[in-house]
Amino acid sequence: MMVLRVSGLIISVLCICCQLIACSDRESKIYGEWSTISRETRIYFNKDHTGVVNIFANVTSNTAPKSKVDFTWKLADDGTFKLVDTQKNVLVFKMNKDKIETEYNGNIMEYSKVAK
């Protein structure tokens, strides 16, 4: 009976470890800069679960962003992740191969990872 309890405990600990590893692997794919194809919108995901959305008026020059929105983000159990800005607006993103996407005003917004 004691052997069953110990093996059950070991299996539980292994399951938790696997979940943590899978979660951290998914998170590491999110970190960094993402951009729309037009580069008008760029999103930066930090390891501390903060970030910023920069919206540019002129993407051909190195001008400052037209607007900047700070946010926090959190990975959900289903693999999606939520951005919550300072005004409590929420966007839900999902990974789609090597891109992330969200629905905004009825349109699907797609972002690609920016190479360093």
CATH number of the domain residue 68 falls in = 2.40.128.490
| pTM (global) more than 0.85 | no
- Provide the domain limits for residue 106: 31-113
pLDDT beyond 50 at 72: yes
In a domain, 56, yes or no: yes
Task: Tell whether 17 is covered by a domain.
Answer: no
Instruction: For 16-62, write each residue's pLDDT tens digit.
Output: 433 433 445 778 899 999 998 877 889 999 999 999 998 887 666 66
Structural domain count of the chain: 1
Please spell the DSSP secondary structure of the chain, one letter per residue: -HHHHHHHHHHHHHHHHHHHHHHHHHHHHH-EEEE-TTSSEEEEE-TTSEEEEEE-S-TTTTPPPSEEEEEEEEE-TTS-EEEEETT--EEEEEEETTEEEEEETTEEEEEEEPP-
Q: Does residue 111 carry a pLDDT above 80? A: yes
**Residue 83: inside a domain:** yes
Is residue 10, in this structure, part of any structural domain at all? Answer: no
Q: Is residue 23 part of a domain?
A: no
